[in-house]
Structure formats: C-alpha cells, structure tokens
Amino acid sequence: MKPDRKSLIRLGLGAVGLGLLFGVWEAVVRLGWVPAGLLPAPSSLGPAWLDEVRNGAWQAAIRDSLTHYLLGLVIGTVLGALVGLLCGAVGALDALLAGVVRVLRPIPGLAWVPFAILWFGLNTAGATFVIAISVFWINFYAAYGAVQSIDPDLYEVAAAFGHGGFAGRLMKVVLPASAPGLLAGLRTGLGQAWMSVVAAELFGVPGIGARMMQASSLLATDLVVVYMLTMALLYALTDMLFMVVRRRLLGWQG
C-alpha cells in the first residue's frame, strides 16, 4: 500500500526535525559552548562507530542484547497478557491477586537486579528476568483494562449464539474485543524492554548496556552516544515491524 500525501509530509517533517537536532548539536560543540569531552559532536560518531564495527564489538553487543531483549519481551508479554486476561475475565481470580498486584506493581525492574544476580548470575537468564518483569506489568494492565472495557452486551450476544461458557466467551468475545488493547500494551512493552536492556546489562552482562559502561569508564563519550543511537535505531526498527504486523492483525476493524 502506497503512503498517502499526509504520511509523506509527516515523514519529511520528521527528517527535518532530526536534521535540526544534529545541526544544532554540531554547532554547540564546534562553537565551544559545550566541551567536546562532555558531549561529542555528531561528526565524530561515524569514525567511532566504524572502529567498533571493524573490531566486532558493535555486532557482538547487538547480538547479545537482542537475545536478552527477545527472550524477556516474549516471556513478559505472554505471562502479563495471560494473567491480565484471566484477572479481567474471572472476578474470583482478580480478587485473589489484587493484594499481590498492589504490593509488587510499584517495585521497578531495576530493584530486581540484585536478586537477578543472586538467583541467575551475570548471564542471559538474569538479564532476561529483569526485562521480563518490566514488560510483564505493562501487558498485564493493558490486557486487564481491555477486558474490563468490553461491552457486557457482547457476552449476551455470544450466549445467544451458543457461546455462553467460559471457553466460548474467551475465544469469541474476550480475545477479539481486547485485541487492540493487547497490541497497544505490546507496543509500549517494545520500548520498555529496550530501556530495561540497559538496566539489565549495566552490571556486567554482555550487551549494549555493558559496552556503554565500559566506554563511560574510559571517558569515551563518542562510543556511549553511538550505542545510545544504536538502541534508538533498534527500537525504531522493532516498532516499524510491529506496526506492519498490527495493521494486518487488526485489518478486520477497517
């Protein structure tokens, strides 16, 4: 499907905005308003990135972080959406877990890092655990809210067509009606998972976060920014891919 004129204009304005950002950034450093040691100029990022590519560090960091990211995203999304759907659809389960949710929900994913290290060590399992917890709550509340907002009349219609049982209501009403909310939670989780990747890797687990810490300890701010932009690019790619899949899954709404 070809992009319409409005989409092209929006894309063009976005490109102009990025150009202004990097242009002002370059000027601020070149004019000496900010020391280059504190903030590297955009023109210095290309050579730094090429060095990382040549020695293989960039590719290795991406490979390691993608492993943590995908595992944590899948586990946190599936469990969060499943528990959220069940709590939203089953009142007794919702009441049973209400206290547990109120106690655990305010705890940030970063607070679980010491336990991840103790339980799993500085490896993929520990990083996956931290990312999965961060993603879990986003998808839990997205699924829970989506189920709670379903029009009760839909259950009556389903019952009239012979789908009054729990399985029937789940498959014919709950999942289709809550799909937009579930996908909205998943999209938010895509970004949250990337933010959690850094927290999960800052303590020595190989990946983008660990590489950023190594560069920071050496005052190599150009490398720190290279990996910051790398993570932004990876998020943009995953978000674009998600939007393509979302349009296909929700095509029936149109």
User: What pTM did the predictor assign?
Assistant: 0.82
Nearest Cα to Cα of residue 72 among 121, 124, 122: 124
C-alpha distances in Å from residue 1, one per residue of 7, 244, 247, 248, 251: 12, 11, 11, 12, 13
Per-residue pLDDT in tens (0 to 9) along the chain, 254 residues: 455 677 788 888 888 888 888 888 888 888 888 887 788 888 888 888 999 899 988 999 999 999 989 999 999 999 999 999 888 888 888 898 888 888 888 888 778 888 888 888 778 888 889 899 989 999 999 888 888 887 776 666 666 666 666 676 777 677 777 777 888 888 888 888 888 888 888 777 888 888 888 888 888 888 999 998 998 899 889 888 888 887 777 665 55
| Paired tokens of 199 | 């927290």
